[in-house]
Structure 1
Amino acid sequence: MTETLSDTRAHTYDAPHPHAFTRGEVGWLPWLEPFPQDDLTDRHYEGLVDRGRASSDYFRLLVRDPEILRSRTLVDKDIFYNTAEGLPREERELAAAAASRVNGCVFCASVHARFAAHFSKNPELVDTLLREGVAADLGERWNAITDAAAALTATPLAFGPAHVERLRAAGLDDLEVADVIHGAAFFNWANRLMLSLGRPVAPPDQA
């Protein structure tokens, strides 16, 4: 079966929305019918990169253009998992969480906040970001990262030399500064895509 975007159905839901940013397991529901899992071909699986993503409604929406999805996923993996040089994983996740907090993407913020808390071993500080936003005092190094991420998220033109200077003053080298920019910029785009295609669902403790 070959399905086109015009064949999809629009959905509405009664599931509760989250009422706060959280590290809890936020769900996500699509506005459109995802590509049928039984109809996925080798081309689609190549686009998914990880076969396990076939169970995700989000990725089965994006897999309608598998070549673009593959490029998107490989960039994502390189930004967050290629930590041989540059920022430690927790601060890449922090930049993504900060961008998601500014954009109001509760789902993405929850995912990256969990990673930031796990790798930093400092869940209280991550919860402060979720609760108070990017103006929260997280210590100068994290403040510099969240401030840069917030500027990029508001508009790329808001990010400038002063942010780079602050990051360097906080101890980041050029590769680490680049990782802050990549993590925030990627999720600035990803937030908007996810917010357009569906909506978050409250975790069990907020339902």
Structure 2
Amino acid sequence: MTDEVVTYATLNRPEAFTQEQLGWVPWLHAPAVEELTDRQYDGLMDRSRAASDYFRLLARDPDILGARTRTDKDIFYNTKDGLPRAERELAAVATSRANGCVFCASVHARFASHYSERHDDVQRLLDEGLSADLGPRWNAIASAAQALAQTPPQLNAAHLRALGDVGLDALEISDVIHGAAFFNWANRLMLSLGEPEEPNLG
């Protein structure tokens, strides 16, 4: 069966970056929950993700989805060593802000706010981008993440020195780089498959 492209002329699209919860609408039909195979559920890893149109769409290639899911979980949940969860989320927010991925920015901004209790600073990053002054440590993390998001990447030795100067060790710097690099890819994938929408509260 050939995929049918879906167009939505009347989507309630968000007008700015936000920490509010957004919906996401795919441009291609995602498989229905009842159509998912055991292999596709293996790719999802977490069965609750089947509720998401995005993850069901990615489940069309369950092996790639499985690799993506394991990478995602390791970046954000394996925090025994390295960067604290709040700053891993911050790197994802900065990358998503630079790439214009409103949906990803909203998700990870909420996590960054939750784990850091710095809601206003996270919102400042969403509102102002790289010009936002978040304090030396967060400035260094956001700057490095956004430099990686450029085409071609602009990350250089000065960014690494800045991260070291604010106290990050080699493992923490690695977390910034790998988290930002992963989200640089994840943003582009999401941006190519659909778009965010404001929830219908009526």
TM-score (norm 1): 0.93
Match of 1:11 in 2: 6
Question: What amino acid is aligned across from residue 139 of structure 1 in structure 2?
Answer: G
Moved more, 62-71 or 154-163: 154-163
CA distance in 2, matches of 1:160, 1:197: 31
Q: Post-superposition shift, 1:35?
A: 1.6
Match of 2:137 in 1: 141
3-state SS of 2:149 partner: helix
Match of 2:120 in 1: 124
Q: Post-superposition shift, 1:181?
A: 0.6
Alignment length (residue pairs):
201
Which whole-Å deviations, capped at 9, do the CAs of 1:114-137 have from their partners, x for residues lacking one? Answer: 000000011011010011112210
Question: What amino acid is aligned across from residue 102 of structure 1 in structure 2?
Answer: A
Could you say what the CA RMSD is over the residues aligned between the two structures, in angstroms?
1.4
2:23 to 18, 23, 27: 27
Aligned residues: percent identity? 61
Whether contact under 8 Å (1:137, 1:143) holds in the other structure is yes
The 1:38/1:203 distance shift into structure 2, 3 A limit, reads closer
Q: Post-superposition shift, 1:156?
A: 5.5
Q: Post-superposition shift, 1:7?
A: 2.3
Moved more, 127-136 or 139-148: 127-136
Q: Post-superposition shift, 1:37?
A: 1.8
5+ residue gaps in structure 2? none
Q: Does 1:45 align with 2:41?
A: yes
Whether contact under 8 Å (1:152, 1:158) holds in the other structure is yes
Whether contact under 8 Å (1:94, 1:116) holds in the other structure is yes
Match of 1:181 in 2: 177
Match of 2:88 in 1: 92
Which whole-Å deviations, capped at 9, do the CAs of 1:19-52 have from their partners, x for residues lacking one? Answer: 1100001110000000222121111110111011
1:112 to 108, 111, 131: 108
Which whole-Å deviations, capped at 9, do the CAs of 1:81-124 have from their partners, x for residues lacking one? Answer: 10000010000000000000011100000000000000001101
CA distance in 2, matches of 1:174, 1:204: 45
Question: What amino acid is aligned across from residue 5 of structure 2 in structure 1?
Answer: A
3-state SS of 2:25 partner: strand
Which whole-Å deviations, capped at 9, do the CAs of 1:128-173 have from their partners, x for residues lacking one? Answer: 0011112210000000000000100003641121111100001100
TM-score (norm 2): 0.96
3-state SS of 1:138 partner: coil
Question: What amino acid is aligned across from residue 191 of structure 1 in structure 2?
Answer: N
Question: What amino acid is aligned across from residue 31 of structure 1 in structure 2?
Answer: W
3-state SS of 1:19 partner: coil
